Amino acid sequence: MLRLWRYRKRSERFVSVAHLAKPLPNIMHYIAVFALLVACALADDSHYSFSQSVGGGGGTSYSVTGEGRITAVRVWEVYSNYIYGFQLRYGDDWTPVIGYVSGQPHELQLFEGERIVQISGKYTHYIQSLIFATSLGRSLHVGQPAGHSFNMYATHPDAELRFLSGMTSGLPTSLQAHWAIFDTESSEAH
């Protein structure tokens, strides 16, 4: 109970004036709760998410980003073993290769409106295998499935892969996926 006190000069005593404080009407409680719920809903920005990093993680950090939507993926492997290198294409522009280039790459070119919605694979000290899955059910499988399994996907059903980050020690040693909804009208992720 709320206690309010007022000092009375004449008798030098404190007198309770709690009966003077009136409780808020019930409608004010409902408005306050509603405002709090709206604020919580607006604060929940689930259009962006990232997957936990996988791999040994030694070396130098990298981030593979570009302008626009991802339109293709290239991955190089060492003799059906671990991942040797990879790169993404945004629009018509390829990013720099993370890792090394050796032999012919495995490549997945996305159709108009198709997006990468899942990355799975295996890792030990290096990234052993990668599987890029698309919104149309297509996939690219590269590497040898040995080691610890991982599965990365967005928390929002309309989000897609926006960029990759991790560590590299020559070869990619760790991988982290970043997901967001791509706004096709403004060509920006939000």
- Which two tokens mark 60? 């130098």
Chain segment 159-184, per-residue pLDDT in tens: 999 999 999 999 999 999 999 998 76
Of 51-65, 130-144, 174-188, the range with the lowest mean pLDDT is 174-188
Buried/exposed 111-135: b ≥16 CB within 10 Å, e otherwise: eeebbbbbbbbbbeebbbbbbbbbe
| Residue 7 confidence (pLDDT) above 50 | no
Q: Is 12's pLDDT higher than 90?
A: no
Task: Specify the pLDDT at position 31.
Answer: 58
Is pLDDT larger for residue 12 or for residue 125? 125
Q: What is the pLDDT of residue 185?
A: 66
| Residue 57 confidence class, pLDDT cut points 50, 70, 90 | confident
| Lowest-confidence pick of 26-30, 131-135, 154-158, 166-170 | 26-30
More confident residue, 18 or 183: 183
164-180 in b/e form (b: 16+ CB < 10 A) is bbbbbeebbbbbbbbbb
> Bridge-partner residues for 119, per DSSP?
132, 152
pLDDT above 60 for 14: no
Q: What is the pLDDT of residue 45?
A: 54
Q: What is the mean pLDDT of residues 10-38?
A: 50
Q: What SS3 state is found at 40?
A: helix
Does residue 101 carry a pLDDT above 50?
yes
**Is residue 106 over pLDDT 50?**
yes
For the stretch 62-100, pLDDT in tens is: 999 999 999 999 999 988 789 999 999 999 999 999 999
